[in-house]
Amino acid sequence: MIYRPYEYQRTAMQWIIDKPRCGLFLDMGLGKTVSTLTALQQLIDDCEVSRVLVVAPKKVAETTWSTEAEKWDHLKDLRVVTVLGTEKKRCEALAKKADVYVTGRDNFVWLVGKYGGQLPFDVLVIDELTSFKSAKSERFKAMRIAVPSVKRVIGLTGTPAPNGLIDLWAQMYCIDQGERLGKSVTKYRETYFEQHRWNNIVVRCDVKKGCDTIIRDKIADICLSMQAKDYLQLPDMITHKVSIELSPKTAAAYAKFEKEKVLEFKNEHGDEPANVMANSAAALMNKLAQFSNGAVYDDDRNVHAIHAEKLDKLAEIIEAANGNSVLVFYQFQHDVFRITEKLKGLKVRQYQDAGDLKQWNAGNIDVLLAHPASTAFGLNMQQGGHYIVWYGTGWNLELYQQANARLHRQGQQHPVQVYQLLCKGTVDERASNALDGKKGVQQSLLDSLNYLLRKYE
């Protein structure tokens, strides 16, 4: 296929070429991958670089970079190797002669250790830069060690700060080693944010008045930001909040279950500090979400079915789609089994690998079941359909936005219909409202926890 870049893509490519360390904050669907590969091809042709390492989410590493290279005529000579699988397979891949080596972010710590912190690459591309937003994570610590050994760094993301500017520090450090936002995340917080504490633990940081502009100005010389709405005429994305009425018996059972779990939580975790409390709150919300979805795990991981209201509504939506393929995002493994059983007679598949992606885009799958944590980033799925159903939304705004963008992106020919299945009077409604409020995961969980604790005082 002949590549005819848009003007904004030419700008992005030139940005990479001109700036050895840069960030491309390009909205979902603007073609970050092909723009980056094209710029890399030019740098290779000009003998500026010879070996490139791409670090990406596992599913993206498996398919997206190699598929994009194969897709375009001008990239046909670019040799792309995936560094995945067992340690033996990874080592064999690294030994191959190639231009671009693509590995999963979960392998990055191993890779840095293998080379003693001195990466033998000219360029490091960090796909989905937000994966490195936590300064405490092992992958960030490995990045901190490795970045000085590479002469060019390119950070790619569509959502650099979905939960606020507090997330930017670690991401920028991966690019410029603290040159713009400082060497310390603590100093960054103290300088630009009002910190709110609970039991002497910081639970929320709000940017100080005027500091959002200061932060953006400090990184503007190396970070290019573009939003899809300014450059693309995409079809609409229409969200439908589908309220599902539980039967009186099931609603009463949910209310009893919720009360028991909240009081049990209070007895076990009431004195925990806020940062630990958020993790415990996530476990509580997961239990309630399981019930809302129609089944729960017991302590031995056995599944106990409770109701089928969501299954029935999902079947109705799929029938109304009138033969169009439907992408369903699930929360729990038991959702997969129950949905598959409900939709017998249809071609239902759980997303596993590149083969499923190919079959989906070819129109050979009626219903594709996908977990947002595995498929939210980087996959081009817009050829396969324009219907999305969230069997349970969860609390993570970034995953929600990114997952919807698998269909709502450049190349989509139809309005994208997004259905949230929300059981009335359950945790579903609070999770959906938290996404609307665009709060961080931790704050959303703590807010919902406080609501439940007050409810049952």
How far apart (Å, rounded) are the C-alpha atoms in residues 75 and 67? 11
* Burial of 1 per CB tally in 10 Å (0-12, 13-18, 19+): exposed
Question: Do 237 and 418 meet the contact criterion of CB atoms below 8 Å apart?
Answer: yes
Is 28 or 341 the better-scoring residue by pLDDT? 341
Element (H, E) at 250: helix 248-269
Is the predicted pLDDT of residue 203 greater than 90, yes or no? no
pLDDT at site 120:
97
How far apart (Å, rounded) are the C-alpha atoms in residues 69 and 52? 14
In this structure, are strands 416-423 and 326-329 parallel, antiparallel, or unpaired? unpaired
- Mean pLDDT along residues 308-337: 92
Is the predicted pLDDT of residue 231 greater than 90, yes or no? no
Q: What is the DSSP string of 432-450?
A: HHHHHHT--HHHHHHHHHH
At 10, the pLDDT band (50, 70, 90 cuts) reads: very high
pLDDT at site 234:
81
Tokens read off for 25:
């904050």
Length of the chain: 457
10 Å Cβ neighbour count for 351? 22
Q: Which fold does the domain 7-231 belong to in CATH?
A: Rossmann fold (3.40.50)
- Mean pLDDT along residues 345-364: 93
Is the predicted pLDDT of residue 278 greater than 80, yes or no? no
Any idea which of 21-35, 174-188, 335-349 has the lowest mean pLDDT? 21-35
Any idea which of 46-50, 60-64, 283-287, 386-390 has the lowest mean pLDDT? 60-64
Is the predicted pLDDT of residue 260 greater than 60, yes or no? yes
DSSP assignment letter at 364: -
pLDDT at site 144:
96
- Mean pLDDT along residues 152-177: 86
Distance of CA 153 to the CA centre of its chain: 21
Tens-place pLDDT, residues 52-97: 999 998 888 988 899 899 989 999 999 999 999 999 999 999 999 9
pLDDT at site 299:
85
Tokens read off for 30:
């603007």
Question: Do 54 and 71 meet the contact criterion of CB atoms below 8 Å apart?
Answer: no
Q: At the fourth CATH level, which superfamily is domain 237-455? A: P-loop containing nucleotide triphosphate hydrolases (3.40.50.300)
As a whole-number percent, the residues of the chain with pLDDT over 90 amount to 66
- Mean pLDDT along residues 235-250: 91
pTM of the model: 0.66
How far apart (Å, rounded) are the C-alpha atoms in residues 359 and 185? 44
- Mean pLDDT along residues 5-15: 93
Each domain of the chain, given as residue ranges in start order, spans 7-231, 237-455
Element (H, E) at 114: helix 108-114
The helix/strand/coil state of 218 is: helix
Element (H, E) at 290: helix 274-293
Question: Do 173 and 181 meet the contact criterion of CB atoms below 8 Å apart?
Answer: yes
Tens-place pLDDT, residues 166-178: 889 999 999 999 9
Tens-place pLDDT, residues 436-457: 887 778 788 888 888 888 888 7
As a whole-number percent, the residues of the chain with pLDDT over 70 amount to 96
In this structure, are strands 326-329 and 193-198 parallel, antiparallel, or unpaired? unpaired
Can 7-231 and 237-455 be said to share one CATH topology?
yes
pLDDT at site 202:
63
Tokens read off for 374:
């595995």
pLDDT at site 272:
67
In order of 58, 152, 161, 180, 439, the CA distances from 168 in angstroms are 22, 19, 6, 11, 16
The helix/strand/coil state of 278 is: helix
Q: Supply the mean pLDDT for the chain.
A: 90
Q: Which of 131, 153, 185 is nearest to 36 (CA)?
A: 153
